[in-house]
Amino acid sequence: MFQNQSNSFFFYYFFVSLFFSFVRSSAKNDSSSYAFCPKSTCNGVEISYPFWRLDNYNTSAPQYCGYPGFGINCSENQPLPIIYLPSDAFYVKSIDYKSYSLALVDADVFNVKCPRARHNLTLEKLPLKFSDSALKLTFYFNCTKNPGDALPAECLKSGTYFYVGEIEPDDLNWFGICEEKVVTTVTKRRSFQNNDWIEGFGAAMGEGFVLDWRSASECGQCEKSEGRCGYNNSTHNLLCYCKDGTVKFKHCKGTPKTLAIYLSSY
């Protein structure tokens, strides 16, 4: 019996030593993460979790100050911060952390009076979705004739037509009539009629569109404990960077969860 107690004590001591060795190692490797993940302002836009500044962090690291793919490029030479979704550049007009919304405009159409749509934006596996205010504009380029009852984009090269929203027929056969199809997204304009769109599609594209992201509810607990939220790209878990250099899973207060589970079972 004495030997069993000795063995139990040995394994307990070994586990605790190993755990705190891991914590010290994490603090050594990740203590800079707390300093690199503060809230900041970039060209008037607040950058905070789940977004993070590309210029403040090593993009090849397994742990981020926010979701992978949500890195934002800040530069004094740019009119607005830039995010890449997934490979095309979009200017970030604003981020609303209360409604979890992100207002973007395609960098290629920014401040262009008569823009040419170039990108079919696909969100792929990013935790993003188009907001309820999103409206599609479907462009057809280099057409020999109108592919249906589409509107002419008069300010662009002749042979360019577009549909607003879901008006485009499902069975539209544009192959052989037009060379290219591009779907872009704008924000709904309830007062617009067809004639308004002919003259106003450029202004609508210049105003951009809104995306929503799935919020991580645990981040609030981390911030209340004076931590800073991050994300582990390998385990897909939220992290909480604490002032003492340690990294926790939800918040910086109390006994680390892993150790607490072991002590409760001992």
pLDDT at 108: 93
The mean pLDDT of 117-124, rounded to a whole number, is 87
pLDDT at 244: 84
- Spatial neighbors of 242 by CB under 8 A, at least 6 apart, are 34, 225, 226, 227, 248, 252
Res 35 pLDDT > 70: no
pLDDT at 207: 93
Rounded Cα gap, residues 177 and 171, in angstroms: 14
The mean pLDDT of 141-169, rounded to a whole number, is 91
- Is the pLDDT higher at 160 or at 40? 160
- Is the pLDDT higher at 45 or at 252? 45
Res 98 pLDDT > 90: no
Percent of the chain exceeding pLDDT 90 equals 33
Res 256 pLDDT > 90: no
pLDDT (tens digit, 9 = 90+) per residue, 211-223?
Answer: 998 654 457 788 8
Query: 139 burial class (0-12, 13-18, 19+ CB within 10 angstroms)?
Result: buried
pLDDT at 32: 46
For residue 261, name the pLDDT band (cuts at 50, 70, 90): very low
pLDDT at 260: 34
The mean pLDDT of 145-152, rounded to a whole number, is 92
Res 144 pLDDT > 90: yes
Rounded Cα gap, residues 78 and 80, in angstroms: 5
pLDDT at 115: 95
Q: What is the Cα 196 distance to its own chain's centre? A: 32
Rounded Cα gap, residues 130 and 235, in angstroms: 26
Most confident by average pLDDT, 35-39, 103-107, 154-158? 103-107
pLDDT at 110: 93
The mean pLDDT of 225-229, rounded to a whole number, is 84
